[in-house]
Structure 1
Amino acid sequence: MTYLDYQATTPLAPEAFEAMVPWLRDHHANPHSPHREGRRAKATVEVARDQVLAALAPGAEGRLFFTSGATEAANWAIAGTFERSGAARPKVVTIATEHSCVLDTVQALAARGAEVVVLPVGADGLVDRDAAVAAIDERTALVAAMLVNNEIGVVQPIAWLGELARSVGAVMVCDAVQGWGRVALPVSVCDLIAVSAHKIYGPKGIGALWVHAGTEPATLLYGGGQEGGLRSGTLSPALCAGFGVSAALLTQDDPSHVETLWDAARAVLSAPDWVLNGDAGARWHGNLNVRMDGLDVARLMSECRDIAFSAGSACASGSGRTSHVLRAIGLSDAQAKNAIRIGFGRYTRQEELVAALQAIDRAARGQ
């Protein structure tokens, strides 16, 4: 099996696995217990917290809260900020191509009285800046935007959006799940940042919310208040340890590796037959989303069953709906159904990538 679905999840780093093993096999204390073994577990959690902080927001004034994943982190950031904002700031602004954990959360807030503005994007997948300027004003509680789009890899202008939000006193929420460790993350203009371990070669089931000092969201989960009194639930030392090590390893990645893979991939799935979805320049090169007119993606995936790739985001697979991201950039339902997403990264070898894409290309052409 050739694995080319890095946007859905990345392979677990061996170093992260090894860090987790003792806490899965040998140690079982609750990190919130006061006895010696509990304190030992807590120390492991805090080491991991420092590792994630150092990789995510070095030197920034803020706190890191572990969560069950980025979905919880984004829900908490958005709903908790709206809860604290008060009636003077009823507006919530986001972008049409955001992940469903953001779009569904803001729609849930609409039922509670929020004035939701969903900004359009152009054919390149980038936010309409004029629409953003018109929408983000003194009545805005928060602006939520994704650093790197999970479906088409486009990099949104987070620094510009953050400055715009700050200029009117709004909170800037950034979903950095796909971009952290891959493209520049403008922490200085972000108030809350949601991340996930399993998108950076860590374990599934854990994420984090980084919170700039003074912008803490209201509590959503009640119980023991284990995470700084704001988030309840027993933490897993094993998951924290794996997350911490995977975060620390990000600085060792060689950006040229992905650039080499991108060039090789584009040489196989090339124009004019394969059309790139999203901007050609402002994008993460570990994500290749392309389409071919008339392509039967279901048949293609069946014929290429030894290659793991995607017909859309993993979160929407099996829903029967075409991608809201591809529709937002102006594709018809038919065109959206002709698209595939190829994801690669640290553990992808160039020769296996090329061989897999050549097989996909042949099958797409009916050869």
Structure 2
Amino acid sequence: MIKKLIQLFWFEKTKEEEHRTIRKSFARVKRHGMLGAIERLDKDYKQIDEDYITRSILNTKYAKFRLRFVFVTFFLLSCFYVVFLKTELYESRTALIVRDMSQTTNASSLGLSLLGMGSSSQLQDSKIVEEYLKSLDVYQLVDAKFQLTKHYKSDAIDFIDRLPNDATTEEVLEYYNKHLIIYYDETSGILSVAFAHVDPKKAQEILEFLVQNVDYQINEFNRKKAIKQLKFVEVEFDKAKEKMENSSSLLEAYQNKHLLLDPTAEATSSSGIIAELEARLTQKKIEYATKKSYLNEDNFELVNLRNEIKEIKASIAKTKSNLTGSEKNPLNKVLIEYEKLKMQLEFDTEVYKNALIQLETTKIDVAKNAKTLSIVSKPNLPDGYTYPNKPKTFITILIISLLMYGIFSMLSQIIKDHKE
């Protein structure tokens, strides 16, 4: 009926007659009802239906009109939704820098700083913060305090963007991440974080809560890592202490067994005695040879010298035997075994010292905050909505509508040409 009304209106216009179609139709509806008006409209339409050329022209014109009407309607409805219905979101922003206080600035990081690039550690920490803020664990913390899930399903969100009541956890998390905007600037090392909400005060409060949680959690990551490392270091420290005590006990037992405090000193002393005895032996031999030239063999002095030389040789032999001879426990064997035990004790003592240093260092790491979160700019209280950008959205809808209209017009013309 609408098509017939419009085509009759155009038909009257082409004949330069008074436009009576719409006015007559209203009058017919009042007088004869809807069915009667349709019957009389069909009767008036016969003059168009009987003229093939006029009907073809009007049908083509109506097809173009209908296509334009569809796209104009789409454009107007879209603009109406964006301007009057779409939820306006207020975005609170903050800027952060994650710094590692446990690392000293080396040459490579200094070079990156001169080139305007953040260190790899800073990049890694910032990416960890980004993934943590987007995680389900953080969302559950935020949801418990600010009831975001309930908000996302409420009438505060427009009917298109609003989440359904049976939305899954994954859908809710994805919706939350749409409102959480995170950007890392590799040049300056600044991590920009923003959160959008229908209430500007709520947006600021949620962002402040996220920053506080990150400040605690970023050090909690390192603290948990240090605690695990501490447990390992404590085990290694106990092992090193036990080894050192065992080595000390073995060395002490060995000293007690051989009644020696330091076999090295004993060996040095024995070597000195041998040298002294050999010197005395040489002196006595010279004295004996000298006196033998003018004394008899049975002279008392020569006999006495021979006895002294014999005793000195016996003493030298006994001392050498104690030092390296065929005794049950010769001094050189005792010295070698002692040196082994002493070296093992020194090694175990050094390992124990290093383990003790590592243990104390790890305890400090557990207690201190290795990472620090520097807030470049605090979360602001937005005084105007950020989304949607109505002028930009209006232009985008207009361009899309015109492009789609052009494409459909071209397709319909091609189809029409093929039919003809």
TM-score range, shorter chain: under 0.3
Structure with the higher fraction of residues in helix conformation:
2
TM normalised by structure 1 equals 0.17
TM normalised by structure 2 equals 0.16
Structure with the higher fraction of residues in strand conformation:
1
